[in-house]
């Protein structure tokens, strides 16, 4: 089954064609990072407009790259939630139009489910059940994936997402947006024990996260040092900050896995590209636990992950009519149709 899939929930316009949920026939993406960079973050109206400008041409290019004829496409999958509402609507309406014109089934896909599914592409042997940690610019979740379309949230952030924490910290250090990858690089040159940043744990919600404290701490640390005229070692700050953020993530995830007797662990989302996080999980997991990580090109937003999850949604009978709407917020636990 060949699924044409669309992702436009934030600042990447992405179109892919995926066969049977696992094989990527073509994957095309246009990033808007250079456009939003000057504002220090994503401007929703500009994101929507850029999606509109690119999606039609990108779809043609994706189909061309796949080598398929349009008659060989069997269904259309699209990210319907969560995300920037205007941005989501561009992909959704384009997908609806395509599905209607070619009389194909329309499959709505949850963005976080799709991030998890990026691992199905990279790891042919991976099957639920497993425990997943999804860490991106907008989400930090620990989720029990009971089946391809059945999820239970065991941990979540109480405030900011891990990616937001990285981006804010990077901004304080004068790094370009989005800062996660730059901070990752800079952290490799520094001493993670140089600065003590706070790590919040909740006794009653041991798998939940909070990053607002560590975000404030880096702002205050840099501000105070500047006030005193002290010289700042940016690499040491980046390493110590990354150590705090990834320490919280790794600790909660591994604790959750231990407590729930989970042997198969999966990470996903933009922040799952972080090298310190990967090292900590590999070093901290038990010998009988297997850790699956997406390759770096499948960590961030892409169309292929939507096609992968779309296949399993279709198998479960989750297709929508043309009255399907996009939702800016929606739990991974709930079905979209
Ligand atoms: O999954 P994603 O592409 O988009 C969302 O769904 O939010 O995640 C983007 C986030 C950004 O905050 C970005 O800074 C962060 O992932 N990120 C990283 C790294 N690469 C991307 N954070 C830490 N280390 C990285 N290597
Ligand atoms: Zn994402």
pLDDT of residue 229: 97
What's the predicted TM-score (pTM) here? Answer: 0.97
Look at residue 123 and tell me if it is in a domain. Answer: no
pLDDT in tens, 111-164: 999 999 999 999 999 999 999 999 999 999 999 999 999 999 999 999 999 999
Print the domain residue range for 48. Answer: 2-116+300-315
Residue 121 Cα to ligand 1 middle (Å): 19
pLDDT at 79: 98
Residue to mutate (ligand 1; options 119, 215, 271, 332; most atoms within 8 A of CB): 271
Proximal ligand: closest to the CA of 161: 1
Residue 64: predicted pLDDT: 98
Identify whether residues 110 and 171 lie together within a single domain: no
Q: What is the CATH number of the domain that holds 49?
A: 3.30.420.40
Pocket probe mutation, ligand 1, options 7, 82, 270, max atoms within 8 Å of Cβ: 270
Domain membership of residue 235 (yes or no) is: yes
**Does residue 258 have a cis bond before it (omega within 30 degrees)?**
no
Read off the pLDDT of residues 52-84 as tens digits, 9 standing for 90 and up: 999 999 999 999 999 999 999 999 999 999 999
Q: Write the DSSP string, 187-243.
A: HTTS-TTSS-------SSSTT-B--HHHHHHHHHHHHHHHHTTPPP-HHHHHHHHHH
Give strand pairing partners of 139: none
Q: Are residues 132 and 88 in the same domain?
A: no
Ligand 1 within 6 A of 142 CB?
Answer: no
Say whether both 78 and 132 belong to one domain: no
Encode pLDDT of 177-222 as tens digits: 999 999 999 999 999 999 999 999 999 999 999 999 999 999 999 9
Distance 227 CA to ligand 2 centre (A): 37
In a domain, 337, yes or no: no
Q: Which residue lies with its CA nearest to atom 3 of ligand 1?
A: 300
Tell me: do 99 and 201 sit in the same domain. Answer: no
Phi first, then psi, for residue 256 (nearest 5°) are -60, -45
- Residues 286 and 210 occupy one common structural domain: yes
């Amino acid at each position: 089954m060949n699924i044409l899939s669309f992702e436009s929930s934030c600042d990447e316009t992405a179109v892919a064609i995926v066969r049977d949920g696992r094989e990527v026939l073509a994957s095309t993406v246009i990033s808007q990072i250079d456009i939003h960079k000057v504002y220090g973050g994503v401007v929703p109206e500009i994101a929507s407009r850029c999606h509109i400008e690119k999606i039609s041409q990108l779809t043609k290019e994706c189909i061309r790259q796949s080598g398929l004829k349009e008659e060989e496409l069997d269904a259309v999958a699209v990210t319907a939630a969560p995300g920037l509402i205007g941005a989501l609507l561009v992909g959704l309406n384009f997908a609806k139009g395509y599905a209607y014109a070619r009389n194909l089934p329309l499959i709505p896909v949850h963005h976080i489910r799709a991030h998890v599914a990026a691992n199905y592409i990279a790891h042919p042997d991976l099957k639920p059940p497993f425990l997943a940690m999804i860490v991106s610019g907008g989400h930090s979740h620990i989720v029990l994936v009971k089946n391809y379309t059945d999820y239970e949230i065991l941990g979540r952030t109480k405030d900011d997402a891990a990616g937001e924490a990285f981006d804010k910290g990077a901004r304080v250090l004068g790094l370009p947006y989005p800062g996660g990858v730059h901070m990752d690089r800079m952290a490799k040159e520094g001493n993670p024990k140089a600065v003590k940043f706070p790590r919040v744990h909740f006794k009653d919600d041991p798998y939940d996260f909070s990053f607002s404290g560590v975000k404030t701490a880096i702002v205050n640390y840099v501000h105070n040092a500047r006030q005193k005229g002290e010289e700042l070692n940016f690499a040491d700050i980046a390493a110590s900050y990354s150590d705090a953020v990834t320490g919280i993530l790794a600790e909660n995830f591994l604790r959750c896995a231990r407590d729930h007797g989970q042997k198969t662990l999966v990470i996903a989302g933009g922040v799952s590209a972080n090298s310190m996080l990967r090292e900590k999980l590999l070093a901290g997991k038990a010998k009988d636990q297997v850790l699956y990580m997406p390759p770096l090109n499948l960590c961030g937003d892409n169309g292929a992950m939507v096609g992968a999850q779309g296949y399993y949604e279709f198998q479960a009978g989750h297709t929508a009519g043309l009255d399907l709407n996009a939702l800016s917020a929606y739990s991974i636990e709930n079905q979209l149709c």
